[in-house]
Amino acid sequence: MSVIALLSDWIKSQKIKGPQMKDAPTFYRNLEEALDLRRADHSMFTNHKSAWKLGTSIDFCSNDMLSLGTTGEIRRTFLDELAANPNFAMYSGGSRLMDGNYDYIEDVEAEIAEFHGSETALIVGSGYEANTAIYGAVPRPGDAIVYDELVHASTHDGMTHSLAQCRIQFRHNDVDALRDAISSVLDSQPMIADGSRSLLISVESVYSMDGDICPLLEMLEVAKEMCPLGNAVFIVDEAHATGILGPKGAGLVSQLGVEKDVAIRLHTCGKALASTGGNRYPRKCDSSLCHYELRPLRHLHNCTLLPHCCGNPSGIQHDDHRKNPEVPRQPSTRSEAFFKSIEANKHWSKASEMGILSIPVIEDWAERDFNAHIVPLKTRQRYNWWLVFHLQLAGISAFPIDYPTVPRGQSRIRLMFHAANTEEQVETLASAICSWAAEMIEIEEGAEGAKKMPKAAHQVYALMAANA
Ligand SMILES: Cc1ncc(COP(=O)(O)O)c(C=O)c1O
């Protein structure tokens, strides 16, 4: 299927449906009218086909960061794991607290706890479930949560079910802002100030839409200094560090060697590990205590966990995976190649000076110890889709990220770099971005200014008109 055919499908999915539903039953009409609000600005999410999966485009968007999926590594490992465990149950039987528990799951939990240097581990169906479970079950009445303003939606959803009534956000990755937030909790919550209730601090290792890394060591220092009674604890969501950062991809906490200073870590298998399932590692609290004594962990009570959810991650974490010598171990080598390549392009400096392109994480990239595989690419808000169209027509799959995933006015394209992306692919990406920027520079400096549109946008809008 060609990129144009995929774009046509997408355009069709954004067509307003309400007016044709006038005589339809109220229930269906109301649903379509609600969806029309998103179709109107082309931001309706659809289950469309990905061009890169069809082989017509380069993948700079999927979460398959270690390329375990695209190289077939995960499939091989899963089949090996199945063969090594002939009694592996391919069925579930119910929730784990009823009929759905298996030795295999417990063995995997023990293995991954050891791998991550944690006392225990608990597997749930997804990272999303893990976050809703953590925040729904762990905080006690009177506890407070302070959280980075960019934590994932699943953390927010979890917090809405939390018994911690005092919840304060702090400016993203800002250690002073964390200090202010802790100070305001200590001022307003005497039971936290006197050490009889806990302060939970929620951060992520690598932020999913910004690609920057939490200054965890500094934050731990601040918390220790301000809460010397030891009742400030960290919950670290390692979703985008899993498989990427730390020894054998064990995460940021392991990389920094602060396992003992972090109360709970969340690792997802749905990103670099090319699988599914979420693992949470409480440092001290015995997990059965969480289920039975604190607050029902609804996901354990009410959700069935497929045993093979944990088959994949266990295989790849503990076998020495990534054996394919063709594939570099780290996708960060690819993001670094991209930084080099785009900085060397003759249009980059002017485009960034004019504000046509910006990549916040490119600043000082060469001095950093580690560059993540997630790179937000920004342009003027009204150009965001034009750049996406340009990349798509150039055979590059990169997704636009809009509100509500990011705050209004912060739309961007999220570039995801993978271990298996080649140098040539990275170069193609950088030069496609810069050729679009050159077109935009010419437009902005030309006599017609804002009235002109770049070529790719013209092409897509013409397609839209033809489909109207
Ligand atoms: C930071 C973060 N936490 C949790 C999740 C949820 O993980 P999962 O996809 O395994 O449900 C995501 C997924 O996007 C994420 O980015």
Q: What is the DSSP string of 285-327?
A: S-HHHIIIIIS--HHHHH-B--GGGTHHHHHHHHTT----TTS
* Atom number, ligand 1, closest to the C-alpha of residue 129: 11
β strands within 41-143, DSSP E: 58-59, 122-124
- Judge if the beta carbon of residue 128 lies within 6 A of ligand 1: yes
DSSP tag of 379: -
Question: Which residue out of 268, 299, 303 has the highest number of ligand 1 atoms within 8 Å of its CB and is therefore the one to mutate?
Answer: 268
- Judge if the beta carbon of residue 204 lies within 6 A of ligand 1: yes
DSSP tag of 278: E
- Judge if the beta carbon of residue 270 lies within 6 A of ligand 1: yes
User: Half-sphere exposure of residue 49, counting CA atoms within 13 Å on the CB side?
Assistant: 16
Residue 316 burial class via C-beta count within 10 angstroms: exposed 0-12, middle 13-18, buried 19 and up: buried
CA of residue 457 to ligand 1 center, whole Å: 32
- For the CA atoms of the chain, what is the radius of gyration? 24
- Judge if the beta carbon of residue 63 lies within 6 A of ligand 1: no
- Judge if the beta carbon of residue 278 lies within 6 A of ligand 1: yes
For 377, list phi and psi in degrees, rounded to 5.
-115, 120
Q: Which tokens hold the place of 134?
A: 């953590």
* Atom number, ligand 1, closest to the C-alpha of residue 270: 10
* CA 463 from centre of chain: 32
CA of residue 127 to ligand 1 center, whole Å: 5
Could you say which architecture CATH assigns to the domain 3-32+46-67+329-467? Alpha-Beta Complex (3.90)
Residues 6+ apart with CB under 8 A from 75: none
- The CA distance from 196 to 416, in Å, is 44
CA dihedral of 14, 17, 19, 23, whole degrees rounded to 10? 180
Give me the residue label for tokens 């289920």.
291
**Stretch (H or E) spanning 281:** strand 278-282
Fold of 73-314: Aspartate Aminotransferase; domain 2 (3.40.640)
* Atom number, ligand 1, closest to the C-alpha of residue 268: 10
pLDDT in tens, the chain (468 residues): 677 778 888 888 888 998 899 899 999 999 999 999 988 877 777 777 788 888 889 999 999 988 888 888 888 877 887 888 887 777 777 887 788 788 888 888 888 888 888 888 888 888 898 899 899 989 999 999 999 999 999 999 999 999 999 999 999 999 999 999 999 999 999 999 999 999 999 999 999 999 999 999 999 999 999 999 999 999 999 999 988 888 888 899 999 999 999 999 999 888 887 776 666 655 443 333 333 334 445 555 556 665 555 554 544 454 444 455 555 567 888 999 999 999 999 999 999 999 999 999 999 999 998 999 999 999 999 999 999 999 999 999 998 998 888 998 999 999 999 999 999 999 999 999 999 999 999 999 987 766 789 999 999 888 878 876
- Judge if the beta carbon of residue 154 lies within 6 A of ligand 1: yes
Q: Are the C-beta atoms of 236 and 131 separated by less than 8 Å? A: no
Helix, strand or coil, per DSSP, at residue 453:
coil
- The CA distance from 280 to 293, in Å, is 18
Give me the residue label for tokens 């002939």.
86
Q: What's the pLDDT at 301?
A: 52
- Judge if the beta carbon of residue 279 lies within 6 A of ligand 1: no
Q: Are the C-beta atoms of 421 and 333 separated by less than 8 Å? A: no
- The CA distance from 328 to 253, in Å, is 23
- What is the pTM assigned to this prediction? 0.90
Residue 227 burial class via C-beta count within 10 angstroms: exposed 0-12, middle 13-18, buried 19 and up: buried
* Atom number, ligand 1, closest to the C-alpha of residue 276: 10
- Nearest residue by C-alpha to atom 16 in ligand 1: 208
- Judge if the beta carbon of residue 238 lies within 6 A of ligand 1: no
Degrees, nearest 5: CA angle 138-143-144: 105
Residues paired with residue 59 on neighbouring β-strands, in sequence order = 397
Structural domain boundaries of the chain? 3-32+46-67+329-467, 73-314
The CA–CA distances, whole Å, from 244 to 176, 205, 371, 453 equal 28, 11, 11, 39
Q: Are the C-beta atoms of 181 and 151 separated by less than 8 Å? A: no
**Bridge pairing between strands 374-377 and 278-282:** unpaired
Q: Are the C-beta atoms of 48 and 9 separated by less than 8 Å? A: yes
The CA–CA distances, whole Å, from 380 to 90, 354, 385, 440 equal 50, 10, 10, 11
* CA 423 from centre of chain: 24
